[in-house]
């Protein structure tokens, strides 16, 4: 069998010719973030909205709204689902004079799945999949970097992308705790951001289906600054399974201000209920919480809850009837769950889980990476 990574050999040789390389033991080691990545990114997105005041909906003014699931056979609201996945691997350290950069490899992809009215689910289009080489452009010489960029390709079994880990993006630069400054971790954030861009491209295609048929799209994750374009003003919701817990709420009723934190808000949220709709990003994003599963069967009161976001470009009070409809349709998506296959099973929407599996099943295993990616023989530690 031919080496699937043969097209990456010139990239490794270019780096090895221009720098001293200390290879990773075993050639490739998967790099794992040491925290909940979804919650970390949601905390970045919401860092300017820690205190939430008032509701962003009308005519409802209730803090909790009871709902009945809206089954697909009654109304098929969500027909398209978008998710992505990424894995990053440490290949080695490139040293030029007194500077060094980790050389990382990423597998990133995004897929959209479509569901027919009879419940059949299929891949909407061939998923977007890339192999990414990540390194610090400032460490490598100009000649080496030009060789790397010349190897970028959209053909073959996967696209090849070269990314400078020092380039700014919302994920790599957004953290306030200093974790993102560690070089390997920054590269992993950069790969995650590229995955988000692939999800965005997939969502853009599916929103054309919304314009044509009226079918809504669900995308995994919240609505960050990447969705500021006019093309993303309607037709989809973002669902966050693991969200920031930093928000506090200040609500005024009859002249009295009541303050409470997110834990207090969600502890009283019962199954088949949603919260009121709130606003963030100066009201340009509307969000609320939906309890998908009963608390008594879960380990933690905040399990079984998803955070839902929709764009609100004109900072309006959103229609409570629309929020009810979307929430009811989401409740109906909980019926099948990947219990035992994913730690987030309690908040997973099954079609989102399927979209994620489409991408993951197309990734090369770590064993294939170890066998197929090797630094040139001329390199010594």
Boundaries of domain holding 251: 6-372
Total structural domains within the chain: 1
- Distance between CA atoms of 69 and 54, rounded to whole angstroms? 27
Measured from the Cβ of residue 350, the count of other Cβ atoms closer than 10 Å reads 17
User: pTM here?
Assistant: 0.89
Q: Are 323 and 288 in contact (CB under 8 A)?
A: yes
CB within 8 A of 204, min separation 6: which ones?
231, 232
* Cα 6 from chain centre: 29
Per-residue pLDDT, 293:
85
Asked whether the beta carbons of 110 and 195 are under 8 A apart, the reply is yes
Beta-carbon-side half-sphere exposure of residue 228 (alpha carbons within 13 Å): 7
Q: Is residue 274 part of a domain?
A: yes
- Locate tokens 């027919």: which residue? 116
The C-alpha angle 360, 71, 60, rounded to 5 degrees, equals 105
Say if 381 falls within a structural domain.
no
pLDDT of residue 47: 87
Residue 377 forms part of a structural domain: no
Residue 378 forms part of a structural domain? no
Could you tell me which residues come within 8 angstroms of residue 181 by beta carbon, excluding any fewer than 6 positions away? Answer: none
Residue 245, domain member (yes or no): yes
Mean pLDDT by 10 residues, the chain (381 residues): 82 91 75 71 88 94 96 95 94 92 94 93 92 94 94 84 89 57 84 94 94 94 89 95 91 85 93 96 96 78 89 96 97 70 62 89 87 72 44
Q: Which residues contact 46 (CB under 8 A, 6 or more apart)?
A: 222, 244, 246, 247, 280
Rounded to 10°, the helix 9-18/142-150 angle is 180
């Amino acid at each position: 069998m031919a080496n699937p990574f043969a097209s990456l050999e010139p990239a490794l040789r270019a780096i090895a010719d221009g720098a001293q390389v200390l290879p990773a033991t075993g050639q490739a080691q998967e790099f794992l973030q040491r925290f909940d990545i979804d919650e970390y990114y949601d905390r970045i997105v919401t860092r300017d909205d820690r205190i939430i005041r008032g509701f962003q909906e009308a005519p409802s003014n209730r803090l909790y709204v009871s709902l009945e699931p809206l089954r697909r056979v009654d109304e098929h609201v969500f027909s398209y689902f978008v998710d992505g996945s990424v894995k990053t691997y440490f290949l080695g350290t490139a040293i030029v004079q007194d500077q060094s950069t980790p050389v990382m490899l990423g597998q990133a992809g995004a897929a959209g799945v479509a569901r027919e009215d009879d419940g059949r689910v299929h891949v909407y289009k061939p998923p977007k999949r890339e192999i990414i080489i990540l390194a610090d452009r400032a460490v490598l010489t100009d000649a080496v970097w030009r060789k790397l960029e010349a190897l970028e390709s959209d053909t073959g079994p996967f696209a090849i992308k070269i990314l400078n880990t020092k380039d700014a993006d919302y994920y790599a630069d957004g953290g306030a705790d200093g974790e993102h400054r560690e070089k390997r971790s920054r590269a992993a954030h950069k790969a995650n951001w590229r995955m988000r861009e692939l999800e965005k491209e997939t969502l853009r295609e599916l929103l054309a289906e919304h314009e044509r048929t009226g079918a809504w799209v669900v995308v995994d994750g919240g609505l960050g600054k990447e969705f500021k374009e006019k093309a993303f003003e309607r037709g989809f919701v973002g669902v966050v399974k693991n969200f920031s817990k930093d928000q506090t709420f200040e609500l005024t009723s009859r002249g009295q201000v009541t303050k409470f934190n997110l834990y207090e808000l969600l502890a009283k949220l019962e199954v088949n209920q949603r919260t009121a709709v709130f606003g963030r990003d100066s009201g340009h994003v509307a969000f609320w919480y939906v309890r998908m599963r009963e608390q008594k069967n879960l380990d933690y009161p905040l399990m079984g809850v998803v955070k839902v976001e929709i764009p609100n470009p004109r900072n309006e009070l959103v229609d409570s009837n629309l929020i009810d409809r979307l929430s009811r349709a989401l409740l109906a998506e909980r019926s099948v769950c990947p219990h035992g296959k994913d730690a987030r099973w309690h908040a997973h929407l099954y079609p989102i889980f399927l979209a994620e599996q489409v991408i993951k099943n197309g990734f090369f295993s770590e064993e294939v990476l170890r066998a197929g990616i090797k630094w040139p023989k001329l390199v010594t530690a």
